[in-house]
Amino acid sequence: MVSYHLISCDGGRENNEDYVGMYQNGQAYCFALADGLGGHGKGEEASRLAVESAIQAFAMDGPGEETLAASFDGAQKAILEGQREDYHARDMKTTLVLLHVGEEKIWWGHIGDSRLYYFRNRKLMARTLDHSVPQMLVAAGQLKEKQIRNHPDRNRLLRVLGVDWDSPKYQLEAPKDRNGQQAFLLCSDGFWELIDEKKMQSCLKKAGSPREWAEMMAEIVEKNGQGKNMDNYSAITVWAE
Protein backbone atom coordinates (compact mmCIF):
# COMPACT_ATOMS: atom_id res chain seq x y z
CA MET A 1 0.00 0.00 0.00
CA VAL A 2 1.24 3.49 -0.91
CA SER A 3 -0.05 6.68 0.73
CA TYR A 4 1.24 10.22 0.38
CA HIS A 5 0.75 13.95 0.97
CA LEU A 6 2.01 17.04 -0.91
CA ILE A 7 2.48 20.57 0.41
CA SER A 8 3.90 23.73 -1.20
CA CYS A 9 3.88 27.14 0.50
CA ASP A 10 5.19 30.56 -0.50
CA GLY A 11 6.74 31.14 2.95
CA GLY A 12 5.45 34.70 2.87
CA ARG A 13 7.14 35.58 -0.41
CA GLU A 14 5.39 37.11 -3.40
CA ASN A 15 5.94 34.12 -5.70
CA ASN A 16 6.19 30.41 -5.03
CA GLU A 17 8.95 29.10 -7.28
CA ASP A 18 8.60 25.54 -5.93
CA TYR A 19 6.43 23.05 -7.79
CA VAL A 20 5.26 19.59 -6.72
CA GLY A 21 3.40 16.84 -8.54
CA MET A 22 2.50 13.17 -8.55
CA TYR A 23 1.09 10.62 -10.96
CA GLN A 24 -0.31 7.15 -10.41
CA ASN A 25 -0.50 4.44 -13.03
CA GLY A 26 -2.00 1.28 -11.55
CA GLN A 27 0.25 0.24 -8.66
CA ALA A 28 3.12 2.49 -9.76
CA TYR A 29 3.64 6.04 -8.51
CA CYS A 30 5.76 9.01 -9.53
CA PHE A 31 6.52 11.93 -7.18
CA ALA A 32 8.34 15.07 -8.33
CA LEU A 33 9.50 18.25 -6.60
CA ALA A 34 11.41 21.20 -8.06
CA ASP A 35 12.72 24.51 -6.72
CA GLY A 36 13.03 27.11 -9.45
CA LEU A 37 15.68 29.81 -9.82
CA GLY A 38 15.67 32.89 -12.02
CA GLY A 39 14.45 36.47 -12.22
CA HIS A 40 11.25 37.92 -13.71
CA GLY A 41 9.17 35.21 -12.01
CA LYS A 42 10.60 32.58 -14.33
CA GLY A 43 11.83 30.28 -11.58
CA GLU A 44 8.27 29.08 -11.17
CA GLU A 45 8.13 28.36 -14.90
CA ALA A 46 11.33 26.28 -14.73
CA SER A 47 10.09 24.20 -11.80
CA ARG A 48 6.71 23.64 -13.48
CA LEU A 49 8.35 22.53 -16.73
CA ALA A 50 10.62 20.11 -14.86
CA VAL A 51 7.85 18.45 -12.86
CA GLU A 52 5.39 18.23 -15.76
CA SER A 53 8.08 16.81 -18.06
CA ALA A 54 9.04 14.17 -15.47
CA ILE A 55 5.42 13.13 -14.95
CA GLN A 56 4.86 12.91 -18.70
CA ALA A 57 7.86 10.58 -19.07
CA PHE A 58 6.55 8.36 -16.27
CA ALA A 59 3.04 8.29 -17.75
CA MET A 60 4.49 7.04 -21.04
CA ASP A 61 7.08 4.52 -19.80
CA GLY A 62 6.30 3.59 -16.18
CA PRO A 63 8.76 3.43 -13.27
CA GLY A 64 12.44 2.56 -13.48
CA GLU A 65 15.97 3.84 -13.92
CA GLU A 66 15.64 4.43 -17.67
CA THR A 67 12.51 6.51 -17.15
CA LEU A 68 14.21 8.50 -14.39
CA ALA A 69 17.10 9.33 -16.73
CA ALA A 70 14.67 10.24 -19.51
CA SER A 71 12.77 12.45 -17.06
CA PHE A 72 15.82 14.52 -16.19
CA ASP A 73 16.93 14.69 -19.83
CA GLY A 74 13.45 15.73 -20.94
CA ALA A 75 13.18 18.39 -18.23
CA GLN A 76 16.56 19.79 -19.23
CA LYS A 77 15.49 19.96 -22.87
CA ALA A 78 12.18 21.67 -22.02
CA ILE A 79 13.88 24.33 -19.90
CA LEU A 80 16.59 25.09 -22.46
CA GLU A 81 13.91 25.42 -25.14
CA GLY A 82 11.97 27.77 -22.87
CA GLN A 83 15.08 29.90 -22.40
CA ARG A 84 15.55 30.23 -26.15
CA GLU A 85 11.89 31.11 -26.77
CA ASP A 86 11.58 33.81 -24.08
CA TYR A 87 14.31 36.41 -23.50
CA HIS A 88 13.11 37.01 -19.95
CA ALA A 89 13.43 33.28 -19.23
CA ARG A 90 17.08 33.05 -20.30
CA ASP A 91 18.27 32.69 -16.69
CA MET A 92 15.62 30.26 -15.45
CA LYS A 93 16.94 27.13 -13.80
CA THR A 94 15.65 24.57 -11.33
CA THR A 95 16.49 21.71 -9.01
CA LEU A 96 14.57 18.45 -9.37
CA VAL A 97 14.11 15.40 -7.16
CA LEU A 98 12.13 12.35 -8.34
CA LEU A 99 10.81 9.20 -6.69
CA HIS A 100 9.33 6.18 -8.49
CA VAL A 101 7.54 3.54 -6.43
CA GLY A 102 6.87 0.31 -8.30
CA GLU A 103 5.28 -2.92 -7.14
CA GLU A 104 8.64 -4.49 -6.24
CA LYS A 105 11.27 -1.75 -6.53
CA ILE A 106 11.78 1.92 -5.63
CA TRP A 107 13.98 4.35 -7.57
CA TRP A 108 15.01 7.97 -7.06
CA GLY A 109 17.32 10.64 -8.38
CA HIS A 110 18.07 14.35 -8.04
CA ILE A 111 19.92 17.40 -9.24
CA GLY A 112 20.61 20.48 -7.10
CA ASP A 113 19.83 20.82 -3.41
CA SER A 114 16.25 19.61 -3.23
CA ARG A 115 16.54 16.46 -1.14
CA LEU A 116 15.09 13.00 -0.70
CA TYR A 117 15.27 11.37 2.73
CA TYR A 118 14.78 7.61 2.98
CA PHE A 119 13.46 6.03 6.19
CA ARG A 120 12.98 2.34 6.89
CA ASN A 121 11.02 1.12 9.89
CA ARG A 122 10.82 4.79 10.93
CA LYS A 123 14.61 5.24 11.05
CA LEU A 124 16.61 7.47 8.71
CA MET A 125 18.67 5.33 6.34
CA ALA A 126 19.98 7.77 3.72
CA ARG A 127 19.54 11.10 2.00
CA THR A 128 20.61 12.56 -1.32
CA LEU A 129 23.72 14.74 -1.25
CA ASP A 130 23.33 18.32 -2.42
CA HIS A 131 25.04 19.54 -5.55
CA SER A 132 26.21 22.66 -3.72
CA VAL A 133 29.34 24.40 -2.48
CA PRO A 134 28.79 23.50 1.21
CA GLN A 135 28.21 19.82 0.37
CA MET A 136 31.47 19.86 -1.61
CA LEU A 137 33.24 21.32 1.43
CA VAL A 138 31.80 18.52 3.58
CA ALA A 139 33.12 15.94 1.10
CA ALA A 140 36.54 17.61 1.31
CA GLY A 141 36.51 17.45 5.12
CA GLN A 142 36.44 21.25 5.47
CA LEU A 143 32.91 21.49 6.87
CA LYS A 144 30.66 19.42 9.11
CA GLU A 145 27.35 18.14 7.78
CA LYS A 146 25.31 20.11 10.33
CA GLN A 147 26.97 23.37 9.22
CA ILE A 148 25.42 23.24 5.74
CA ARG A 149 22.12 24.72 6.95
CA ASN A 150 23.64 28.05 8.02
CA HIS A 151 26.55 28.29 5.60
CA PRO A 152 26.72 31.62 3.69
CA ASP A 153 27.21 29.75 0.40
CA ARG A 154 24.41 27.24 0.95
CA ASN A 155 22.51 28.59 -2.07
CA ARG A 156 25.47 28.30 -4.45
CA LEU A 157 24.54 25.30 -6.56
CA LEU A 158 27.01 23.39 -8.73
CA ARG A 159 24.44 21.44 -10.73
CA VAL A 160 20.94 22.45 -11.86
CA LEU A 161 18.65 22.00 -14.84
CA GLY A 162 18.85 24.91 -17.27
CA VAL A 163 22.62 25.00 -17.76
CA ASP A 164 24.10 23.39 -20.88
CA TRP A 165 26.01 20.20 -20.16
CA ASP A 166 28.21 17.85 -22.18
CA SER A 167 27.16 14.90 -20.02
CA PRO A 168 24.22 14.48 -17.59
CA LYS A 169 24.70 16.14 -14.21
CA TYR A 170 21.82 14.48 -12.35
CA GLN A 171 22.41 11.64 -9.91
CA LEU A 172 20.48 8.36 -9.79
CA GLU A 173 20.59 6.13 -6.72
CA ALA A 174 20.67 2.35 -6.72
CA PRO A 175 17.11 0.95 -6.58
CA LYS A 176 15.72 -0.40 -3.33
CA ASP A 177 13.46 -3.42 -2.88
CA ARG A 178 9.98 -2.81 -1.49
CA ASN A 179 10.51 -4.21 1.96
CA GLY A 180 8.97 -3.43 5.36
CA GLN A 181 7.81 0.04 6.34
CA GLN A 182 9.47 2.53 4.02
CA ALA A 183 8.95 6.28 4.15
CA PHE A 184 10.26 9.06 1.93
CA LEU A 185 10.48 12.82 2.28
CA LEU A 186 11.13 14.92 -0.82
CA CYS A 187 11.68 18.58 0.06
CA SER A 188 13.10 21.89 -1.10
CA ASP A 189 15.86 23.72 0.77
CA GLY A 190 13.30 26.12 2.22
CA PHE A 191 11.95 23.11 4.12
CA TRP A 192 15.04 21.14 5.19
CA GLU A 193 17.00 24.23 6.26
CA LEU A 194 14.45 24.80 9.05
CA ILE A 195 14.08 21.26 10.39
CA ASP A 196 16.84 18.81 11.23
CA GLU A 197 16.89 15.08 10.64
CA LYS A 198 16.23 14.22 14.29
CA LYS A 199 12.98 16.19 14.18
CA MET A 200 12.00 14.60 10.87
CA GLN A 201 12.45 11.14 12.38
CA SER A 202 10.72 12.09 15.64
CA CYS A 203 7.68 13.39 13.74
CA LEU A 204 7.62 10.23 11.63
CA LYS A 205 7.51 8.04 14.74
CA LYS A 206 4.53 10.01 16.08
CA ALA A 207 2.58 10.39 12.84
CA GLY A 208 -0.35 8.22 11.89
CA SER A 209 -0.32 9.13 8.19
CA PRO A 210 1.86 10.88 5.58
CA ARG A 211 -0.39 13.94 5.92
CA GLU A 212 0.09 14.09 9.67
CA TRP A 213 3.86 13.64 9.23
CA ALA A 214 4.01 16.48 6.70
CA GLU A 215 1.88 18.81 8.82
CA MET A 216 3.90 18.14 11.99
CA MET A 217 7.13 18.96 10.15
CA ALA A 218 5.64 22.03 8.45
CA GLU A 219 4.63 23.38 11.86
CA ILE A 220 8.26 23.14 12.97
CA VAL A 221 9.45 24.80 9.74
CA GLU A 222 7.02 27.69 10.26
CA LYS A 223 8.04 28.11 13.89
CA ASN A 224 11.76 28.08 13.12
CA GLY A 225 11.23 30.47 10.22
CA GLN A 226 9.52 33.18 12.26
CA GLY A 227 11.41 36.47 12.08
CA LYS A 228 13.56 35.20 9.22
CA ASN A 229 13.42 35.84 5.50
CA MET A 230 11.73 32.53 4.83
CA ASP A 231 11.99 30.90 1.43
CA ASN A 232 9.23 29.00 -0.35
CA TYR A 233 9.01 25.53 1.17
CA SER A 234 7.61 22.31 -0.24
CA ALA A 235 7.50 18.68 0.78
CA ILE A 236 6.12 15.35 -0.37
CA THR A 237 5.74 12.56 2.17
CA VAL A 238 5.33 8.99 0.93
CA TRP A 239 4.72 5.75 2.83
CA ALA A 240 5.18 2.37 1.16
CA GLU A 241 4.08 -0.56 3.32
Q: pLDDT value at position 50?
A: 98
DSSP-derived 3-state class of residue 232: coil
> How many other C-beta atoms can be found within 10 angstroms of the C-beta atom of residue 106?
22
Q: pLDDT value at position 179?
A: 92
Alpha helices in 33-165 (DSSP H): 43-61, 65-85, 133-139
Q: pLDDT value at position 227?
A: 87
- Res. 155: pLDDT tops 90: no
How far from the centroid of its chain's Cα atoms is residue 199's Cα?
Answer: 18
Would you tell me the crossing angle of helices 210-225 and 197-206 to the nearest 10 degrees?
Answer: 140
Could you tell me if 240 and 106 are in contact, meaning their C-beta atoms sit under 8 angstroms apart? yes
Q: pLDDT value at position 40?
A: 62
Q: pLDDT value at position 12?
A: 84
- For residue range 11-64, what is the model confidence (pLDDT) as tens digits? 888 899 999 999 999 999 999 999 999 766 699 999 999 999 999 999 999 999
Ramachandran class of 184: left when φ > 0, alpha when ψ lies in -120 to 50, beta otherwise? beta
Distance CA 111, CA 99 (A): 13
Mean pLDDT value of segment 137-145: 94
Q: What's 3-17 look like in SS3? A: EEEEEEECCCCCCCC
Q: pLDDT value at position 193?
A: 95
For the chain, what is the mean pLDDT? 95
Would you tell me the crossing angle of helices 65-85 and 43-61 to the nearest 10 degrees?
Answer: 140
Model confidence band, residue 191 (pLDDT cutoffs 50, 70, 90): very high
Could you tell me if 204 and 129 are in contact, meaning their C-beta atoms sit under 8 angstroms apart? no
Please enumerate in sequence order all residues whose Cβ is within 8 A of that of 69, keeping only pairs 6 or more positions apart, or say none. Answer: 109, 168, 170, 172
Mean pLDDT value of segment 145-170: 92
Phi, psi values for residue 91, rounded to 5°: -105, 5
Mean pLDDT value of segment 94-106: 97
Alpha helices in 116-192 (DSSP H): 133-139, 189-192
Q: pLDDT value at position 41?
A: 67
Q: pLDDT value at position 56?
A: 97
